Structure 1
């Protein structure tokens, strides 16, 4: 399971060999696929999830799905929960400290904004670094969470204190509701994560990010709200689209955690699961916060 975020491809559909490099069954009349060497030579979303193990190339301990009761050295659901709770805990603590120690009144808002932007940029760089690493680095992941927390704390304080009182808590509740709803839908089988689902989500996310990047460029060089995609009625519309995309990425995260546990992934992979879930939850939270801010500005 590779580190991931709402922009970059997931492990299993990696930039190493592409989707076909997972050992999916060859199509009739076409060349055989899945014979490439490397840890991504099998498809974790194949019809028989235990027939091919994407971790088999990592050595004998991971050459077969774990037998019942044998989890030594392998990722378990408890590992994922613990690492995710740790990562989110660090983010929440630093967000609370930033909220308390970086005031957003008129006399201090520029300094607080500056610190928040700097923390956000460094967090983004750390996120990029971890996303392209083949192995997780807990210190890097926790540093990302800490700096992202500083950024979120200041932004949330600005929206809550200067635009809409209670906006941060509303965004948190909205994020929790989406998480719970997607988890229930996924466990009930209402959401089926397959190749088509993945392709649709990634194409939609790429288009969304490119559109928002163009809007940001127009805002930076042209002033105002750019093309208006992040303000007013269009801002609300694209905010809802962003939440829906975040929910889809949660489903991908759940599928990968499930596959990692089923295949007996190395225990260290739980840190990547925590990293991916944290990125997705931050995405959803920011979209909710933006929607709430726009709604209150319109009133």
Structure 2
């Protein structure tokens, strides 16, 4: 899911100009250079002494004008930076999730003796990870330049959330975690192919449609949360029925399209010469989209299992 603050910065991030030979005086074809032999006198009648071939003022030496510093090629963002930072972020989520699952998952004996209470540790980890990730995600989204440390902490919190949720689902539906991971990876690869082939182009109209869809999804999720807090039961959007299956498919579709927006942000940042630190912001957006996509696929698979 793309970072709106990063989009604003990328829109103004341009590469520094390459070194040039200075600003040259312009003359019409066939016209002698001002101040040269046979040519008109220099502007203002001043002699050419003290003027340089580039831009200058009468009586000022070469030090009067300095070109802006030129950034080295190694300071610009490239695709290797995006791939590396994204891989590190996803790996952090996976390691944190597996660690949470293995360390906090109850044994069969605990489940037999305590029932649902045996899942208390996994539930606590999922809640802490979800709330912490949500707050930190807002902080990262409104920062102009993303901090690598914040992104990695966010990935750890998301890993805790996924580890807790996946552990509970796996106890009820054995094998569902592997299916959800394979489904998420398949959608990611499929959307990358769609983007690279240009089958769906990320245009301003597409971005407006996606923003409206995200707002609608957020409203429906808030409705489901409020309904659960009041009634203690899942709403018809999450009760496993036909409407819930359709709603999960819709959420999977929207989450998939956010990946296209993330891919486009990465390409635009590279093309405009953004600094290398932008790779962490792009990684943050991709991790957010993948976490949402994984959760929705996990829910859908649980509905189909029932």
- TM-score tier after normalising by the smaller chain length: 0.7 to 0.9
Select 2:217's aligned residue among 208, 213, 217: 208
Change (3 A) 1:175 1:135: same
Q: Which runs of 5+ in 1 are unaligned?
A: 15-38, 45-53, 57-61
Contact 1:55 1:63 in 2 (8 A): no
In the alignment, structure 1 residue 187 sits paired with structure 2 residue 189: no
CA drift of 1:188 comes to: 0.6
Check whether the contact 1:76–1:261 (CA below 8 A) recurs between aligned residues. yes
Tell me whether 1:264 sits opposite 2:273 in the alignment.
Answer: yes
Aligned residue among 237, 249, 269 for 1:229: 237
SS at match of 2:76: coil
1:94 maps to which of 84, 96, 99: 96
Alignment match of 2:165 (pick from 150, 155, 159): 155
Change (3 A) 1:214 1:126: same
Superposition deviation, residue 126 in structure 1: 0.9
| Aligned-pair CA distance for 1:147 | 1.2
CA distance in 2, matches of 1:71, 1:244: 38
Quote the offset at 1:295 in angstroms.
Answer: 1.5
Query: Distance between the aligned counterparts of 1:210 and 1:260, measured in 2?
Result: 31
Residue in 1 that maps onto 2:208: 199
Question: What's the offset of the Cα at 1:71?
Answer: 3.0
**TM superposition shift of 1:10:** 6.4
**1:65–1:258 Cα change, 3 Å:** farther
**Partner residue of 1:277 out of 279, 286, 302:** 286
Q: Measure, in 1, the Cα distance between the counterparts of 2:208 and 2:185.
A: 26
**1-structure distance, mates of 2:141, 2:18:** 26
For 1:202 and 1:208, locate their aligned partners in 2 and report how far apart those are by CA, in whole Å.
10
Aligned to 2:40: none
* 8 Å contact kept, 2:122–2:165: no
User: TM-score scaled by structure 1?
Assistant: 0.77
TM score, norm. by length of structure 2: 0.76
Does 2:93 correspond to 1:85? no
**Gap regions ≥5 residues in structure 2:** 20-71
Aligned pairs for 1:1-299 (under 5 A) are 4-5=1-2, 9=4, 11-12=6-7, 14=8, 39=9, 54-56=12-14, 62-64=15-17, 71-104=73-106, 105=111, 106=115, 107-162=117-172, 164-226=173-235, 228-231=236-239, 232-297=241-306
The number of residues matched between the two structures is 245
- Which is higher, the Rg of structure 1 or of structure 2? 2
Structure 2 counterpart of 1:18:
none
